[in-house]
Structures are given as structure tokens and as C-alpha cells.
Amino acid sequence: MKSKLSLLAVLLLVFPLLAGCWSRYEIENLAIVGGMGIDRIQEDGKERYLLTVNVIRPGLSGGGTEGGGRGKPIYWRITATGDTLVDAEKNINLRSPRRVFYGHMRFVAISEKIAREKLPDVIDYLSRNSEVRLRILILLTRERATDALINYSELENTIAREVTEMASITGGIVSKFKIWDLAQTIDQLITPGLDPVIAELMTPLSVPVEPGGGPIRILRFGGGGVVKKDKLVGWLTDGETRGYLLGAGEAQEAALPVRLKNQPEPDTNINLTRSSRQLTVDVEGNKVTAKMLIHAEGDLGEYNGKEEVATNEGVFKLETKFREEVEKEVRQSFKKAQELNADIFGLGNRLHERNPKAWKKMEKDWYKILPNVKLEIKVTAHIRRTRAISEAFIPK
Amino acid sequence: MNMLEKGKISGSQFMWMMVTTVLPTAVLFIPAITIKNAGTSAWIESLIVSTGWGLVVVTICCTLGERFQGRSLLNYSGEILGKPLGKLLGLFYIFIITYTNAIIVREFGEFLLSAFMPETPILVFNVILLLLAATSVRNGIEVIARMNQFVVSLMFFALIFIFSLIFGEANFHHLLPLFEGGIKPIIHGALTPMGWRGEVFLLLFMLPFLSNHREARPAAYKAVLLLGLVLGTDVLMVLAVFGKEAANFVFPVHSLATYISVAGFLERVEAFILALWVAGVTIKVAVWYYCATLVTAQTFNLKDYKPVVLPLGIIQAVWSITIYDNIREMVDFFEKPWITFSLFFEFVVPTTLLLIAVIRKKGGRGSEK
Amino acid sequence: MFNVLRRKLKTTFGKNKDMKVSHERFDEGESDHATERHLITRSLAKNKKTMQEIFSNWGDIEFREFELGTAPPVKLMIIYIKGLTSMPDVHVSILEKLMLLEGLMEEVASNGNLHLIKNKLLPIAEVIEQNDFITITNQVLTGDVVLFIDGEASALMIGVKGWSDRAVGEPPSEPTVRGPRDGFTENILVNVAHIRRRVRSSRLKLEKMNIGLLTKTDVVIMYLDGIVNDSVVVEVRARLNKIKTDAILESGYIEEFIQDEWLTPFPLILSTERPDRVAAHLLEGHVAVLVDTTPFALIMPTTFFHFLTAAEDYYTRAPIATAIRLLRLVAINIALLLPSVYIAIATFHQEMLPTQLLISIAQAREGVPFPAFVEAFIMESTFELLREAGVRLPRPVGQAVSIVGALVIGQAAVSAGLVSPAMVIVVALTAISSFAIPNYSGAIALRLMRFPLMVLAATLGLFGIMSGLMAMLIHLSSLRSFGVPYIAPISPLVISDWKDFILRAPHWAMFTRPRLVGFKEPQRQEKGRVPKPPKGSQ
């Protein structure tokens, strides 16, 4: 009797299923989205959202080497407008024969206009959608986000992959931008005392690829937008972002041109190979001091000078310059942050973590206190190696 | 009374069944509620406070069980309270267990629906879960215990899998500041989970089946401690990786699983975790279902519990749909009414029984009547 | 007499009383010949007549009358079935010895010719006196020669059976790379001998039975006394005794009669052609049942995992064996789950695939008219058809046709745009994995379970698959084979048996027998005999 009933159970399982399957979508009924762009435009006198998605055309990408030739390009860029983001999303189906599928979307580009006003709405829309994964990358654009979803991917098969690879691999090589994913962005946005810097996606025009064709847009990263209290307040340049990353302990590899001698142009390049930072925020009465300790390791990348540099003194000199350069960069970006009155290094957060009582008192007025915070930076820099050769080949 | 079920379970089977009574759905739901109320101290609460509460409940239940070794609750409650009240207690528990089981089924259906297949009507999930559980129940407690041993290892594997792979993303700064807000958030955050941990009171009904009743107490303690460890780690991990934003995730552990990305290729594993979870929840539902059937059969002095399985199943299926209109009601229920509800039947009733038994000098240590 | 009358009446006047007749037959426990019990007479001529009546219409029964070489000569007659007796023996050991009594005393012993012949003249091991026609008939049917002596009230049954048997060779269903290559044949005596050669203990017990009213098949129960669980032996015996049927043609018939549960795809009794396997199981405390006319022996009680192990696991070295078992575990999972998982992921959980893979699959599925489930179903069914067909084809052609057929059909289907290449790969992998499962009945069970899982996957995705697996688990948990839970040692959790479960511990580490079967004498060997080179050697 026992197993008879279990068999009956199995049979019974089948009956309700025959009635219909609700959540099934065949692969060929899906429009796989690689990236999304969100803009705000004027339409019919109203402000509306413009949603752009890049849908991958499976027949043309992957496998063969024919992509990008005559005929349809690899991506299909659809746009749709709507009063709300979800409205715009549904309106995509006015043009698309397949159901839009966000499970493989890799990045979202948000235009400056939205970042200045409506960032929380976008974040809410993205987090509520269960298909959207927490690892998608959040990017800001200065111009229209829809331009950022270009059709042309250089090395990888799809744009989504290009962006992802840049975020994970190449971003760390130059340390001039850092792309955060959705979970990290949300975390930073809701942390009190921290104003995140979100990477910027640029789409400059470039020379035409085919003779006779027009100039094309290419992808470029660098710099970032500072978001304070859920609103974009300003932009950091490449260099400033590098300083920010150094100060936040997120810099990995970077090139730091320095001058060994007093001269207008740098003659040496120190490669940063690793860095980390420790931050303490002390409060005495009403005075807040932030002490940043940065450990930097590097090696000698390039030397155009004429003196000996691979000696103890030479290395010592290099290390001094290294320290100074790092400190300089961090201060530069701190200065910019203070101009924007944004706490990009998370000083407030650190205070909150270590000294919650003090934070509680200062929280409300933090942005008034911030311009008066004294930042002490101490850098320990080590040059470990000189790469493949020791002294430069200087002609005698 | 013991004619209903001839099976016997061992001490370790007993322990694992108690783990299953709580773990599968607790892992899914507790972190969000705890973090919402306790903030960064949520993991302390989970590791220490809730576990402590679990130990309290277990001690009371084991003591009560030891006084009436080998007999089922229904059997000796008649002695303690007098026949009519004893029957009333039986009816009371039938209702409680069935109702809670319906909640459990609904919980899991909601999870499956929001996380994986939003278009499917929840009835499908609930009915299938109950069907599977009903089949296990009909096979008797030994079979349930055996399957449990197997399924529990699957669940632990899933949890270890998630935790070890996500460990790289943990940022323990999220746990600072420690003890923010002092004791109050901890207590506040402990209220709902306490109800969950106290679910181990079900051991009261499983005690008669132990082949060696001396193993009851150590097994029970071990179970509570293990639960504390696992659920504490659960909350800790969620908090470490996501920070306080996790309070807004409806199913933080699921989000944790989606977030796993190792070496660029081990990604998107959450559906696989889900599959293991289905097994776990099915067994949990089976255990509760079994206790419900048992209590019903005992209260009405039936010769065999098998005929009760189907009617109870239907009741649970219907209830699982009707108890809440939407997920908000469900979470609300957990935040407020559940606390008193669970406190009452997990703690107050057994304690009262124990006290009355002691006062009226019923039962005794090591005496078999 | 009265019984014959009764029967005759029933068949003449009753309408279609076949059933009743059979019942009676079985109840009376008699043979199917409408002969009453009666004894032979002293008259050779009368006996001959009776035997001729019994064996009327039997073309292969031979009657040979001759004379004993005494003086005066005594009339003798032998009756035998030509195909079942060993003719050289008939010639040399019987006829020659009886007819050519040269130089022997012309003695008529005081006890009579019977005594003389039996004790002094027939140099044959098995000679039994018999005086009842029914037994004589039965014995002749098994290949004995019956010798009627004129003037004697008993006949002699002479055991000179001999017929052509298949030569002992490698068991075709269970080949191994390493290990003995003698398999069972259709002769039960030879089979028992194979086992006796391996288990040379006086504790190896053998019980003979005869099952099947028309086939009278020899069935033998073997077990190791003192190691085996006696209640299992009792149960096996009881169940075998309960069988009352016409025919037992193969051990599969017996299997169906004595298994615990018929409504399950999972086999509850292990069948094998390998004597070494039977011997190994006997040594662990199992009971073996051998059936004449089939090389497949039955072993019980069994657990599910017996069907997933091969004899070779014990002959190769422990690390290798463990690795291969792990591989087999993977193969089992693939064989059971791959098509369903493919369907589930492609239809419900597309986010699980890496983007590149998803695009490739999407690309491959452009233009395919069927949804994933139909595609999978068609391909899987086709493959099962090919497999069945391959079994029926003659050996040299069969292999080629099934492989080539599968590939060609798969390729053609892809080119025609009926299925996607990914599906062909899935089916191929599944098929190959199912071949890795050593035991045929186990493999079939899993192969069959694939299909309901595919249906569940197509309707409810991974949840469906998991529900299906849970239902299977519930079913498996409730199965018992002669008292042993079917999925031991997983549940009940018997850790000590895990040394031979997925791992295969080295032989020097296997000190205990599987607990649920061999608990009567748990210890196999001494502990702690790790092989090491002797101390002090360089």
C-alpha cells in the first residue's frame, strides 16, 4: 500500500500540470537584453522616461566570424518611452516580437539628467525586478544614455561582455575608474556618511571603421560621478578618480608619472602594484580629524633620466617621490570632494562604525562639519623592483 | 496509543528531525526580519539570544517528556489536566499544528513564486508540496526519519556551498558598529525569531518514538545549538555581504545565492540551491503534517492515523491559500501576532502542563505507568 | 480410479471447466498424467506396455530390450530420452556391462538379479531403486535411464544424464576488464560447482527444490550458515514454497513470485551471471537462488546500491575503484537528470546559463519548430528505440547499426532543422552515461524514470524535477527487500557500511560485513593490516 500511494502521488502530480504551464518561456521567445540605458526626455510637452535596451541577435553573434558585416548588426537597439520605468519597459513590446528578458543584462547606463533628480527611482525599479541580477553594473553618462548602447563591440562578442570585462579586469589595471554593481551601489547609497562615486561611461566619436562610413561611437571609461544624498552633484576627472581610489583603498595598479628632478615634465614612471588604506576618524570636541594611512607598493616602470636610479639612494629618492605623488593625488581628489561638499572617502561612515555616539551627534550637521575636517595623510611607499633591467641604457 | 505507529527512531534521527522542524524556512525568512529590527546586531541576536530561547523551550519540553516516559502528550495530558481538558488540549494542538503547517506551506510557495516562477498560481506549489508530504506521512515516522537524514545533508551541503562561495564578498565592516543602539534592538529583533526557534516544541510529540528515551535531552540540545550556529551564520553572512540593505530583501539568502560569482564562471547557481531547498521544505512539511495527523488520531482515539491524512491535507491546502491575501499580510503576521501566538503554544502551554504536573504530583522521574 | 472418473465427468459435462481442473490438479499435487499411482509389475511385458502407453506420441523416447549375459539370460529393458542421456555411458557402462558378462560367474545371487546388477555390474555412481511409475516417468524426463528387469518388482534409475551445454565463457551481460571470465551456464550443477570452487567451506548450505508443475525446474537455495540472517533464509524458503505455477522458465519468473513489491520500476532482487559475484554476496551474508536452465542467479536481499556496483570494483585497486565509482555516480546523475535539467533550464531558468552559452543555444534553436520538451522527448524515444533494435540484431551488425544509426539520425535531424545540436549532445551524453551503469535492471529503471522527470521538468522547471526526485525518494525509502531497507546505507545511516559505498576501502580495511545483512557474524578479518614494506629495508 505504501508505494502504491506514492505512485498515485506521482500520477496526481501530472494532472494539474497538464492543465497548463505558466512560467515557461522557450528560448526562442526571449529577447535577451545585454544592456540598458535610461534617459529623460521631453515628449508631448511632458517629461518621460526613455528606456533603451540592447537585444542580442543570436543568429549573428557567437560562433562564426561574420558579425558586423552586411545585413543586421549583432544588437538590436530598441527604445521606448513611458511615464514610469515599468511603463516604458512594457512599451518595448510595442515593437518587439519577443519577451524582454533581463536575466542576462550586464549593465545599466543612467544619464546625468536622471542621476541628478531621479536616481532612487531607477534603483528601486532595478531592485524590484526579480530578473535583474544584483551583479549588474551601474554606470553614469554625461550625454544621452541611449548613445551609450552602441552597436559596435570591439574585442568581445557583445557590448555587455566588453563592459563587464572592463569592470572586472581592466579597471584595476589603470585605476581611473571603478564600476560598482547594483548591490554595492545600493549599499553605498544607503550608508550614512558615504557618498559614492559611480563610474562614467563615455561615448566619444571616433574615426570611421569602414572607408566611406561615418564616424562611430566607441566606449570609453574614466572618471566618475559623485552622488550625494541620492543626487548627482558633480564629476571627477580621471586623475581625481585615481586619487579617490587611492584614498578609498580601491586602487590596484596605476601609473604614476613623477619628476625626479625639478623639471616641467615627468621623467619617471612608478607603477603602483598594490595599495591599501586604513582610516581613522577622531573627534575632539567639535574638531574632526581624519587620519588616513595608505600603504602603496610599486615598481619602477620607466626612467628617462640620466642619473643612476637603481641604487639604494636612488630607490630611496623614488620612494619619496612615490609617497609625495600618492599624497598629492589623494589631496587633489579630497579638495574636489570638498568643493562638492561630498564625503567620498566615507569619513562619516568610519566615524559611525567606530564611534557611534559621536556620529549620532554630528549626523545631522555632517555636511556643515565636512568642509572643516582636517585630513592627515600618511603614506608608506615601497618600491620593490625595477622590472627587467636595473639602470637605464644611458649613452655615455 | 502506541499502536498507531510501530516505528522507532534513534537519537541521531531524532536530532536531525528537530533540526528540520525549524531550519528550511527559517533560513529563508529570518534574516530579513531580524536585520530590519536589530540592525547590525542581528547576528548576535541570532547566535545567542534565539538559541538561548530555544534551549529554554527544549528544556521544558524534555522535562515534561521525561516525567511521562514513552507516553504521548495526549496520553498524559489527560492525566494532568483531567480528561475533558486533555481532549481540549488535543483539539487545540490539532489546530495549532495544522495552521502553522499551512503557514509553512504558504511561506515556501511564496518563495518559489517570487524568486522563480512568478506566473504560476501558488496553488500548484502548495498542492504538490502537500502531496509529497502526505505520501511520506503515510509511510510512517521511520521512513520520514530516514529520508530526513538524507535530505538534511543536502540542505547543509547547499548552505555550506553558498556560505563558502560568498565569503569572499563579505565585508565585515558592515557589522560595525557593534551593539549599536544597545540591548533594545537585540531584544526587538529577537521576538520573531524566538517564535521560530521555539518550533522545536514539536519534539513533545516525537518523544514516544525514541528507542532510547535517555537520548532525548542531549539530542534536543544538540539540535538547538546546531540550529543556532547555522542560523547565526546565515544572518552573519547576509549582513556581512549586503549590509543593512538586506532588510529590504524579501529573501536575503536567495539574494546571497544569486550574488555568488567565483572565477567568473561559477555564477547563477541559485536555481540549483532552490532544488535542494525543495527537498528540505518537503520534509519539514512532512514532519509537521505527521505530528498533526498523530495528534488528531490520538485525540479522537482512532485505530490508525492513515485515514486522517487526506482530510488534513485538504484543510492545509485550502488554509495555505486563504490565510493571507498578500505577502505583506504574511510578513506583518510574523512581526506581530506570531510572537504571542508562538509564545503561547510553544512555551506557555508546556510550562503550564509541567507546573501542574509537578504540583499535582503526576508522573515522575523515570517511572513508567 | 474415482478421481479419473470425476475428472472425466467434469470435462465432458461441465462447460469450460478448465480452471476447475487446474485447481484440482494443483490441489492434489499430482503430475499431469492421468495415471494413478501404481507400481510396476514383475512382468517386463506388462511394464513395457504401460510405459508405451504413458509415452505414446513421444518421438524421442527410446526403448531397448536386451538380455543380461547370464545363463539363463534375463530379459532387460532400458528406456531413455535420447537427447538427455549421455550415449557413450549408455553404451559402455550399461549395455556393455550387462550384455557382455564374459567370464563372470553364472551366478544368481540369493537376493536376485536386481541386487546383482545394482551392486556388482553397473559401474555407475547414481543408481536408485524405484517402483512407482510416476516417479520413474518423472526421472526419465529429467534424463535418467530406467532399467526394467523381468521378474523384479523394482526398476533401477540410472543417472547418466548428459546433454550438450553451452561452454563456459565470459558472461555476456557483465564483462570485466579484470576478473574471472567464467560465467554461469544453463546447467545448475555446473553453476553450483562454480560457486563451490570459490567458497570451500562446509558452512555453505544448499537446499534443493523443484518448482513448476510442468517444468519441474530445479531450484537451489544457497547460503553460508552462521553468517546469513536466518530469518531471510526462512522467508526465502517460504516464498519459494508458495509458488504454485505451471512453468518456471527463467529466474525472472521466480523473481516476480518472491519479490517484495511488484509495482515499482526498481528491482528488489539482484540477478547476475557471474559466479564470483554470487560468491562475494554469499560471503557477506546474502542468500542466492540458482535456477536450472538459466545462467542468471538471484541474490537477495539487495539494496539499491548493489545495482550500481560492478564486480570489477573489488578487483582493481582501491583508489582507482573509488575514482571509478565516483565517475559512475556522475554517470547515474547524468543518465537520470540531464535531459530534464536541460529542458528545465532552457524553458524556465534561462538565467542559469552563462550568457555565451545561452546565445549559442538560442542560435542553435533558431528555426527549430518544436519546443525544447518535444525535441527532447522525440530524441530520447528515438534513442531508446535504436537501443532496443540494436539488442535484437545479430552481434556483428548490431553494434555498428546502433552507433552509426544514432549518429546519422542525429546528424540528419540537425541538418533538417528538426532538433538543435545541443539536444543531440544531451541525448548522446545521457545514453553513454546509462551504459556506465553495471546492472541491466538498475540501468533500465533509471532510464525509465527519465521520462516522467522530463514531463515534470517541462511543466514546472526545476521545482518539477525536484518534486519528481522527492517522490522517487519517498518511494525508495519505503521499499524493503527481504527486510532490508532499500536505500541503506544512506538511510538508515550506517556509517560503517560507507567504506564500501561510494568509496571502496582497500581490502585490508574491510573488517566488517554490511551490517544489515551480515550482522550475525560481523567481523571478517583482523584490523590494522595496512601493507607496508618491512622495516629496515632500503
pLDDT per residue as tens digits for the range C248-259: 889 899 999 998
How do the domains of chain C map onto residue ranges? 44-158, 188-302, 318-485
- DSSP type of residue C96: I
According to the model, what pLDDT value does residue C106 have?
Answer: 55
**Beta-carbon separation of A161 and C355 below 8 A:** yes
The pLDDT of residue C168 is above 50: yes
Give B84→chain A minimum CA distance, Å: 35
According to the model, what pLDDT value does residue B5 have?
Answer: 66
The pLDDT of residue B58 is above 50: yes
B138 and chain A in contact, CB less than 8 A: yes
According to the model, what pLDDT value does residue C274 have?
Answer: 92
Based on C-alpha coordinates, what's the Rg of chain A? 26
- DSSP type of residue C353: S
**Beta-carbon separation of B132 and C471 below 8 A:** yes
Of B352, B52, B60, B47, the C-alpha closest to B216 is B60
CA dihedral A18, A21, A26, A30 (to 10 degrees): 160
Residue C221 phi/psi, 5-degree rounding, is -105, 130
Q: Report the pLDDT averaged over residues B148-152.
A: 87
Cell of residue A17, nine digits: 500540470
C501 and chain B in contact, CB less than 8 A: no
| Best of B113, B166, B176 to mutate (most A CBs within 10 Å, chain A) | B176
According to the model, what pLDDT value does residue C108 have?
Answer: 56
Is residue A34 within 8 A of residue A55, CB to CB? The reply is: yes
According to the model, what pLDDT value does residue A363 have?
Answer: 83
Question: Given its phi and psi angles, is residue B39 left (phi above 0), alpha (psi -120 to 50 degrees) or beta?
Answer: left
C341 and chain B in contact, CB less than 8 A: no
The pLDDT of residue C24 is above 50: no
Which residues have a Cβ under 8 Å from the Cβ of C340 and sit 6 or more positions away? C450, C453, C454, C456, C457, C465, C468
CATH class of residue range B11-359:
mainly alpha
**Nearest chain C residue to B146, by CA:** C491
| Best of B113, B237, B245, B251 to mutate (most A CBs within 10 Å, chain A) | B245
**Nearest chain B residue to A183, by CA:** B242
Band of pLDDT at residue C7, cut at 50, 70 and 90: low
Band of pLDDT at residue B362, cut at 50, 70 and 90: low
Size of interface B-C (CB pairs under 8 A): 88
> A139-153, B152-166, C13-27, C76-90: which has the minimum mean pLDDT?
C13-27
According to the model, what pLDDT value does residue A1 have?
Answer: 46
According to the model, what pLDDT value does residue C294 have?
Answer: 92
> B321-330, C295-304, C333-342: which has the minimum mean pLDDT?
B321-330
Residues of B in Cβ contact (< 8 Å) with C487: 146, 150
Closest by Cβ to A23, choosing from B117, B174, B267 = B117
| pLDDT tens, position by position, B8-57 | 788 888 889 889 889 988 888 888 888 888 888 888 888 888 888 889 88
Q: Report the pLDDT averaged over residues C380-404.
A: 78
Q: Please give the distance of CA C10 from its chain centroid, rounded to a whole number.
A: 39
Cβ atoms within 10 Å of C319's Cβ, excluding its own: 11
Q: Please give the distance of CA C284 from its chain centroid, rounded to a whole number.
A: 19
Residues of B in Cβ contact (< 8 Å) with C478: 139, 143
- DSSP type of residue C39: B
Residue C212 phi/psi, 5-degree rounding, is 100, 110
Which residues have a Cβ under 8 Å from the Cβ of C83 and sit 6 or more positions away? C60, C163
Using CA atoms, how far residue C127 sits from C60, C110, C114, in Å, is: 23, 20, 11
Residues of chain A predicted below pLDDT 70: 1-23, 59-72, 151, 208-210, 212-213, 395-396
Residue A293 phi/psi, 5-degree rounding, is -115, 115
Q: Please give the distance of CA B18 from its chain centroid, rounded to a whole number.
A: 8
**Beta-carbon separation of A26 and C263 below 8 A:** no
Cβ atoms within 10 Å of A387's Cβ, excluding its own: 11
The pLDDT of residue B264 is above 50: yes
Residue-averaged pLDDT of chain C: 82
Of A101, B51, B178, the C-alpha closest to C350 is A101
Please name the amino acid found at residue A73: P
CA distance B343 to B92: 14
Query: In C318-394, which ranges are continuous DSSP H helix?
Result: 318-347, 355-365, 372-392
| Best of B132, B141, B149, B266 to mutate (most C CBs within 10 Å, chain C) | B132
B180 and chain A in contact, CB less than 8 A: yes
Return the SS3 of A38.
strand
Beta bridge partners of C523: C512
Residues of A in Cβ contact (< 8 Å) with C356: 62, 157, 161
pTM of the model: 0.83
**Nearest chain B residue to C473, by CA:** B147
The pLDDT of residue B288 is above 90: yes
**Nearest chain B residue to A124, by CA:** B248
Beta bridge partners of C68: C74
Of C476, C448, C440, the C-alpha closest to C384 is C448
Q: Report the pLDDT averaged over residues C147-166.
A: 84
Which residues have a Cβ under 8 Å from the Cβ of A118 and sit 6 or more positions away? A40
As separate numbers, helices (DSSP H) first and strands (DSSP E) second, chain A gives: 13, 15
Query: What burial class does residue C128 get, using C-beta atoms within 10 Å of its C-beta: 0-12 exposed, 13-18 middle, 19+ buried?
Result: middle
According to the model, what pLDDT value does residue A69 have?
Answer: 44
> Which chains neighbour C (Cβ–Cβ under 8 Å, 3 or more pairs)?
A, B
Closest by Cβ to B244, choosing from A6, A183, A190 = A190
According to the model, what pLDDT value does residue C4 have?
Answer: 59
Closest by Cβ to B128, choosing from C467, C469, C478 = C467
Query: What burial class does residue B297 get, using C-beta atoms within 10 Å of its C-beta: 0-12 exposed, 13-18 middle, 19+ buried?
Result: buried
Is residue B76 within 8 A of residue B368, CB to CB? The reply is: no
CA distance B342 to B57: 11
How do the domains of chain B map onto residue ranges? 11-359
According to the model, what pLDDT value does residue A396 have?
Answer: 58
Query: In chain B, which ranges are continuous DSSP H helix?
Result: 11-38, 42-44, 50-67, 73-81, 83-115, 122-139, 141-166, 183-197, 203-206, 216-242, 252-259, 270-299, 306-322, 327-335, 337-343, 349-359
The pLDDT of residue B80 is above 90: no
Cell of residue C147, nine digits: 532399467
Give B284→chain A minimum CA distance, Å: 18
Give B282→chain A minimum CA distance, Å: 14
Closest by Cβ to B177, choosing from A6, A127, A352 = A352
Higher pLDDT, C508 or B111: B111
Closest by Cβ to B146, choosing from C462, C465, C477 = C477
According to the model, what pLDDT value does residue A7 have?
Answer: 58
- Kindly provide the ipTM of the predicted complex, given to two decimals: 0.86
Q: Is the CA virtual torsion A192, A195, A199, A204 positive or negative?
A: positive
CA distance C458 to C454: 6
**Nearest chain C residue to A31, by CA:** C362
Higher pLDDT, B271 or C197: C197
Closest by Cβ to A22, choosing from B119, B128, B242 = B119
> Which chains neighbour B (Cβ–Cβ under 8 Å, 3 or more pairs)?
A, C
Angle at C314 between CA C311 and CA C315, to 5 degrees: 95
**Beta-carbon separation of B242 and A183 below 8 A:** yes
Based on C-alpha coordinates, what's the Rg of chain B? 20
Cell of residue A145, nine digits: 544614455
Three-state SS annotation for A133-153: CCCCEEEEECCCHHHHCCCCC
The pLDDT of residue C131 is above 70: yes
How would you list the strands of the sheet with C297-300, edge to edge? C204-211, C217-224, C287-291, C297-300, C270-272
| Cis geometry, peptide bond prior to residue C489 (ω within 30 degrees of 0) | yes
As separate numbers, helices (DSSP H) first and strands (DSSP E) second, chain C gives: 17, 12
The pLDDT of residue C53 is above 70: yes
Give C335→chain B minimum CA distance, Å: 18
Three-state SS annotation for B150-204: HHHHHHHHHHHHHHHHHHHHCCHHHHCCCCCCCHHHHHHHHHHHHHHHHHHHHHH
